[in-house]
């Protein structure tokens, strides 16, 4: 059977889904999300978008279901992110928050004396079926993707996957804002932007770096 969603695609979809404002998604987008959720849960699913439309004739009810799934997955990932910072020296395992649910087992992971400790507890069989299913899928993703790379942006609530140590824990949008603020903190850059705007009003297109070079040449001439 053909695999329709790779591990990396499942991980990326998870983050996109958690960061999505479902209230602003159009009906066609809700259908797409329901279909993608099927593949997220089962990469080998034989469902098609047409099957989704038949199964979910009420778009608003489908939107509500996606919100419920989103809330469940968000809570699960937050537990993971917070668990990596737990220092539980001398604390009993039952006092430590759950790391994630893998199938019928709830996993508790915490640090004690510099060592990572794992404990397991069987879940109540009466656990909500949908939550059970989603936690199981989340556990699969975390197990294969290194849970310690998941984080929340330090500037906004968005979830991110930290691919390199260079990442400061900010999402792309916030990281770009920080870079832009740092760039604009330099007077020469602000002057170049002002000149570029004036040139555009006159119908002249000129790159910011070219304008910066002109400013530097002018300053050198003034000094001489």
**199 pLDDT tier (thresholds 50, 70, 90):** confident
Coil, helix or strand for 117? strand
Tokens standing for residue 101: 């649910």
Smallest CA-to-CA distance from 19 within 146, 158, 149 is with: 158
Strand order in the sheet with 100-102: 100-102, 105-112, 115-122
The DSSP line for 7-57 is HHHHHHHHHHHHT--GGG--HHHHHHHHHHHHHHH-TT----HHHHHHH--
CA 12 distance to own-chain centroid: 7
Asked if residue 106 lies in contact with residue 135, where contact means CB atoms within 8 angstroms, the answer is no
**121 pLDDT tier (thresholds 50, 70, 90):** low
β-sheet bridge partners, residue 112: 115
Coil, helix or strand for 101? strand
Smallest CA-to-CA distance from 59 within 18, 17, 26 is with: 26
Average pLDDT, the chain: 79
pLDDT digits 0-9 by tens, 75-117: 888 877 776 555 555 555 555 555 555 555 666 665 565 566 6
The pTM assigned to this predicted structure is 0.68
203 CB burial (10 A radius; 0-12, 13-18, 19+)? exposed
pLDDT digits 0-9 by tens, 127-176: 556 777 787 788 778 776 666 688 888 888 899 988 765 666 788 888 78
């Amino acid at each position: 059977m053909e695999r329709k969603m790779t591990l990396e695609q499942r991980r990326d979809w998870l983050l996109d889904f958690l960061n999505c404002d479902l209230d602003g998604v159009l009906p066609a987008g809700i259908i797409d999300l329901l279909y993608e959720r099927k593949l997220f849960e089962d990469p080998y699913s034989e469902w098609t978008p047409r099957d989704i439309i038949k199964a979910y004739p009420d778009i608003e009810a489908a939107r509500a279901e996606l919100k419920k799934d989103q809330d469940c997955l968000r809570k699960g990932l937050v537990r993971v992110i917070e668990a990596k910072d737990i220092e539980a020296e001398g604390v009993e395992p039952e006092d430590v928050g759950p790391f994630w649910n893998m199938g019928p087992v709830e996993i508790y992971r915490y640090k004690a004396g510099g060592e990572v400790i794992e404990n397991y507890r069987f879940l109540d069989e009466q656990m909500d079926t949908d939550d059970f299913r989603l936690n199981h899928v989340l556990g699969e993703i975390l197990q294969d993707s290194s849970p310690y790379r998941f984080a929340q942006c330090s500037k906004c609530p968005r979830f991110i996957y930290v691919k390199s140590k260079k990442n400061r824990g900010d999402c792309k949008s916030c990281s770009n804002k920080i870079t832009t603020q740092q760039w604009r903190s330099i007077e020469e850059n602000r002057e170049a932007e002002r000149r570029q705007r004036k040139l555009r009003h006159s119908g002249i297109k000129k790159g910011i770096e070219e304008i910066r070079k002109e400013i530097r040449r002018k300053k050198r001439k003034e000094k001489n």
